[in-house]
Amino acid sequence: MLTNPQLLASDIVANRTMNRGRVLSGVNSYERELGFSPLERLRERRRAHGTAVWVDACCGEGRALLHAAALLRELELSDTISLIGVDLINTFPSHDFPNLTFVETDVTRYQPPSGADLITCIHGLHYLGDKLGFLENSYSALAEDGVFAGQLDPANVRSREEKWTWSAMLRRAKRGGADVTLRKNLLQMRGTGASLSFGLRYEGAKPSETPNYTGITVIDSWYASAPL
């Protein structure tokens, strides 16, 4: 297993192409990866609550956020919709959007603002060490009926114990009142006011022995099935 500093410094994790320059809409876009428009989701939340917050973890160069910020300025919604991009490596471009903030940090140690309306992690979970800890932390920040969405390959969440299964983890989360689904490698979580706990102990992480469903080498995260 790699220590967290070793993991963050590895060639697999510390790369500039993690998010592959995805934009907001079009062929290589957030809309295509998520199956919905982040901007429309934010506008819906604003209409219902007056304001909205989008946190994009593993945002890469932040192209989708920059595009969203430009559109919000045109729609005169910059004062009521806030955008936050978080990434390990600072390749963020300079900009003049007052409602857009970039944060350079390890996303597994970042605490999103409470009451977030949308949290996304587009193909970023593949590279995280404590994937489940990140998901639990993100869920705690969601507003009621707020949404988290990001890609996850269950094969990269590992345990040496035969009784452990991903479906059992999801059932446990749902029994606790959390709304978590995984379909075609797209994980979605909806805030319900309940807490999310997978009840597993993070043991460490290391590069995957084989490529995952994306066809690339990523990070396997290892857990013990005993409760914390």
- Domain borders along the chain are 4-224
What does the pLDDT read at residue 213?
Answer: 92
Q: Count other C-beta atoms under 10 Å from residue 68's C-beta.
A: 26
The span from the CA of 44 to the CA of 12, in Å, is 37
- Rounded-to-integer distance, Cα 101 and Cα 210, Å: 36
pLDDT of residue 20: 62
227: pLDDT confidence band, cut at 50, 70 and 90? low
Q: For residues 162 and 123, give the distance between their C-alpha atoms in angstroms, rounded to a whole number.
A: 27
Query: What are the residue ranges of helices labelled H in the chain?
Result: 4-9, 30-34, 38-49, 63-74, 131-141, 166-175
Q: What does the pLDDT look like over 90-141, one tens digit per residue?
A: 989 999 999 999 999 999 999 999 999 999 999 999 999 999 999 999 999 9
CA pair distance 53, 83, nearest whole angstrom: 6
Query: What would the pLDDT profile of 37-87 be if each residue is shown by its tens digit?
Result: 999 999 999 999 999 999 999 999 999 999 999 999 999 999 999 999 999
Contact 120, 172 (CB under 8 A): no
How far apart CA 211 and CA 195 sit, in angstroms, is: 32
- What's the fold here for domain 4-224? Rossmann fold (3.40.50)
Question: Is the pLDDT higher at 225 or at 157?
Answer: 157
Taking residues 18-34, report their average pLDDT: 84
Calculate mean pLDDT across residues 224-228: 64
Residue 228's pLDDT is: 45
pLDDT digits (tens, 9 = 90+) for 170-215: 888 888 899 999 999 999 999 999 999 888 889 999 999 999 998 9
Q: Does the pLDDT at position 19 exceed 90?
A: no
Element (H, E) at 224: strand 219-224
Question: In angstroms, rounded to a whole number, what is the distance separating the alpha carbons of residues 166 and 149?
Answer: 17
